[in-house]
Amino acid sequence: NRDAIEVTGIGFMNHYFRTQRLDLGFAEVTAGPRFNLPTPDDRVSRLSVKPYAILTEVGLGEAQYFKSLGTGLETTASVWDDLAIRTIFEFRQKDFSNARDRPLSSGLDGNDKLVTLQLRQRVTANSELLGQFDFLDQDTRFPWYANRTYGLTGGYHIIYDDPTGWI
Q: What is the DSSP string of 127-166?
A: EEEEEEEEEEEEEESSGGG-EEEEEEEEEEEE----TTS-
How far apart are alpha carbons 135 and 112 in whole angstroms?
10
DSSP class of residue 18 equals S
Taking only the tens of pLDDT, the chain with its 167 residues reads 789 999 999 999 999 998 888 899 999 999 999 999 988 788 888 899 999 999 999 999 989 999 999 999 999 999 987 899 999 999 999 999 999 889 999 999 999 999 999 999 999 989 999 999 999 999 999 999 999 999 999 999 999 988 888 87
User: How far is Cα 111 from Cα 91, in angstroms, rounded to an integer?
Assistant: 7
Distance CA 24, CA 13 (A): 6
